[in-house]
Amino acid sequence: MNIGIIGLGLIGGSISLGLRKHNFGDKYLGTDSNQENALHAVKLGIVDEIIPLHDLILQSSVIILSIPVDWIEKILPNILNKITMDTIILDTGSTKHDICNRVYSHPKRSRFVATHPIAGIENSGPISAHSDLFYKKNCIFCDSELSAPDAIAMAERIYSTMKMRRIYLTSKEHDFYISYGSHLPHVISFSLANTVLKKFENDKDIFHNMTGSGLHSTTRLAISNPETWLPIFISNRNNLIQAIDAYMNHLEIFRNYLKNKEFHKIDQYIKKANKIKKICIN
Amino acid sequence: MNIGIIGLGLIGGSISLGLRKHNFGDKYLGTDSNQENALHAVKLGIVDEIIPLHDLILQSSVIILSIPVDWIEKILPNILNKITMDTIILDTGSTKHDICNRVYSHPKRSRFVATHPIAGIENSGPISAHSDLFYKKNCIFCDSELSAPDAIAMAERIYSTMKMRRIYLTSKEHDFYISYGSHLPHVISFSLANTVLKKFENDKDIFHNMTGSGLHSTTRLAISNPETWLPIFISNRNNLIQAIDAYMNHLEIFRNYLKNKEFHKIDQYIKKANKIKKICIN
């Protein structure tokens, strides 16, 4: 069974390495618009061969689309046009509603499985890929009733091979929850980075001495690349605006407590926030 | 030489373990208002003996004050009243201007060295303490011209024993820079935690499945305790309000770009933010 990987970056590369580690499938074919990524992917054993997109579509039994969400939206209908009814295609995009909408009425919709393996890191490219990126992380399956049972079963085999937990949601639910669980934290991090870069553009060196692990962890996501993240923000725009508003509202509450010297309320605010431990700390 | 540690939490405990690892000093005396912390500190080898504050002051050549900043402000003048001119006292508080102001005119001001070893983590208490917490981190010395040369020399020996880099600033400069480098990231993290806790109080389980490492790192600081952080926010209130305002301004810029579909500007915003790598990633 040939596996075709479209997009040989962090996600596509890690899926390939994760599957190959468990001897899943036979030949791995790849394509990437970035020639350097493609070369690295072969050197790193992510794929056996780089071939043109058209050939990859025809020669693969399973196609994995791991490219920015705007590109998934653009090329998914064309790929569905070209595949046979035996081929299975799955995507790994961080937003799902627009993608699912785009192919909702496609005659071969059932060959497509919409998934989001949640395990990105701030680094990108095939050199950041590793076989355990997805180990014991969650993969969200969206609108799975629109996919054929054999397609879902194959996608489940793929993710369970990498030891991922599988969660089933509608694409709309997915985009709502993920706007808070991932997209808002990225906006927060980009904004904090820009705040300190602007404030200390003339005294970077002193400021650098004053940064501890607190700033490091809150700006970690700020090195994430625009090629991946701008399309995510565009695709999840409405949810994200609401999430930013909710967050700014909480920030303003804190700010006003501080401004008005309502310190007992800040004490309560911190104690409430401490409960995040139950949700976020594994 | 006896070393007296007032406050046997993460910072006091780690300083003690860090110094003892290098056989610095002889006997370690400790006191803590929390009896459990005090017991743990003896068990963990942080101090040899728990003694009353009054005795610790009289029996120690070097006194290290590692308690919340409001308590440092409260007890520092009394401790200075009681020590001899041979004793050296240093504090480790995360704000410095109020503390330095409080003892500015004290006749024994020169025996005090105001320092801030920047290496806190979100966990607290003596059980989180470890001997390498400060290894290769920065320690800020404030208003050091007001301390006697022998007191500064001893503080430098203490921090260089733990392999800390030493930086010299005024207490005012310290509080300004640290409001962005540490206090703002904490406010951001507490606020994000409260945003998602409030939003998903009725469907925590689904939301939990949708959180990746991005939310984890941006809310990591939100488990920091109110006993330490409320006094810091109060003491650095003016700087922090300005930092929050600057940050909210940047967030609003992003929000408006998204609202107005000015996507090329978001692309620039992300690319600018990516430059944080030079400041924050070691």
Give all domains of chain B, ordered by start, each with its CATH number. Answer: 3-170 (3.40.50.720), 174-280 (1.10.3660.10)
Is the pLDDT score of A280 beyond 80? no
Are the beta carbons of A138 and B209 separated by less than 8 Å? yes
Is the pLDDT score of A11 beyond 90? yes
Contacts of A261 in chain B (CB under 8 A): 237
The chain-wide mean pLDDT, for chain A, equals 95
Closest partner residue to B270 (CB to CB) among A217, A229, A247 is A229
Q: Which residue of B has its CA nearest to A179?
A: B210
Picking from B178, B189, B196, B265 by the largest number of A CB atoms within 10 A of its own CB, the best residue to mutate is B196
Contacts of A234 in chain B (CB under 8 A): 263
The Cα of B4 is separated from the nearest Cα of chain A by a number of Å equal to 26
Is the pLDDT score of A141 beyond 50? yes
Task: Please tell me the distance from the alpha carbon of residue A65 to that of residue A32, in angstroms, as a whole number.
Answer: 11
Task: Please tell me the distance from the alpha carbon of residue B197 to that of residue A6, in angstroms, as a whole number.
Answer: 37
Q: Is residue A171 classed exposed, middle or buried when 0-12, 13-18 and 19+ CB atoms within 10 A define those classes?
A: buried
The Cα of A211 is separated from the nearest Cα of chain B by a number of Å equal to 5
| ipTM of model over 0.95 | no
Q: Which residue of B has its CA nearest to A209?
A: B138
Q: How confident is the model at residue A281, as a pLDDT?
A: 54
Q: Are B182 and A215 in contact (CB under 8 A)?
A: yes
pLDDT over 70, % of chain B: 99
0.90 exceeded by pTM = yes
Q: How confident is the model at residue B229, as a pLDDT?
A: 96
β-bridge partners, A29: A4, A49
**For the ranges A116-130, A135-149, B148-162, which has the lowest average pLDDT?**
A116-130
Span A273-282, average pLDDT: 79
pLDDT over 90, % of chain B: 91
Span B138-157, average pLDDT: 98
Q: How confident is the model at residue A24, as a pLDDT?
A: 97
Residue B147's pLDDT band (cuts 50, 70, 90): very high
Is the pLDDT score of A282 beyond 80? no
Span B150-179, average pLDDT: 97
Q: What is the pLDDT of residues B183-224, one digit of tens each?
A: 999 999 999 999 999 999 999 888 988 888 889 999 999 999
Task: Please tell me the distance from the alpha carbon of residue A36 to that of residue A38, in angstroms, as a whole number.
Answer: 5
Chain A, 169 to 228: residues with Cβ < 8 Å from chain B are: 169, 173-174, 177-178, 180-182, 184-200, 204, 206-226
B267 touches chain A (CB under 8 A): yes
Picking from A116, A194, A265 by the largest number of B CB atoms within 10 A of its own CB, the best residue to mutate is A194
Residue B167's pLDDT band (cuts 50, 70, 90): very high
Closest partner residue to B255 (CB to CB) among A140, A167, A244 is A244
Q: For residue B220, give every residue at least 6 positions away whose Cβ sits within 8 Å of its Cβ, in sequence order, or none.
A: A217, A218, A280, B122, B189
Span A246-271, average pLDDT: 98
Are the beta carbons of A215 and B181 separated by less than 8 Å? yes
Task: Please tell me the distance from the alpha carbon of residue A87 to that of residue A63, in angstroms, as a whole number.
Answer: 8
Closest CA to A68 of A23, A17, A155, A6: A6
Query: Checking phi first, is residue A265 left (phi over 0); if not, alpha (psi -120 to 50) or beta?
Result: alpha
Is the pLDDT score of A195 beyond 50? yes
Contacts of A206 in chain B (CB under 8 A): 169, 173, 177
Residue B282's pLDDT band (cuts 50, 70, 90): very low
Q: Are B131 and B107 in contact (CB under 8 A)?
A: no
pLDDT over 70, % of chain A: 99
Q: For residue B74, give every residue at least 6 positions away whose Cβ sits within 8 Å of its Cβ, in sequence order, or none.
A: none
Span B37-54, average pLDDT: 96
Secondary structure (3-state) at B166 = strand
Q: Which residue of A has its CA nearest to B282?
A: A216
Span A111-131, average pLDDT: 90
Closest partner residue to B275 (CB to CB) among A167, A197, A218 is A197
Query: Within 13 Å of residue B194, how many CA atoms lie on the same side as its CB?
Result: 23
A232 touches chain B (CB under 8 A): no
The Cα of B113 is separated from the nearest Cα of chain A by a number of Å equal to 18
Task: Please tell me the distance from the alpha carbon of residue A32 to that of residue B54, in angstroms, as a whole number.
Answer: 71
Residue A28: its H or E element: strand A28-31
Q: Which residue of B has its CA nearest to A165?
A: B209
| Residue that the structure tokens 């006191």 belong to | B31
Are the beta carbons of A177 and B251 separated by less than 8 Å? no
Chain-centre distance for alpha carbon A146: 22
Task: Please tell me the distance from the alpha carbon of residue B161 to that of residue A94, in angstroms, as a whole number.
Answer: 48
Picking from B92, B136, B137, B177 by the largest number of A CB atoms within 10 A of its own CB, the best residue to mutate is B177
B1 touches chain A (CB under 8 A): no
Q: Are A117 and A64 in contact (CB under 8 A)?
A: no
B164 touches chain A (CB under 8 A): no
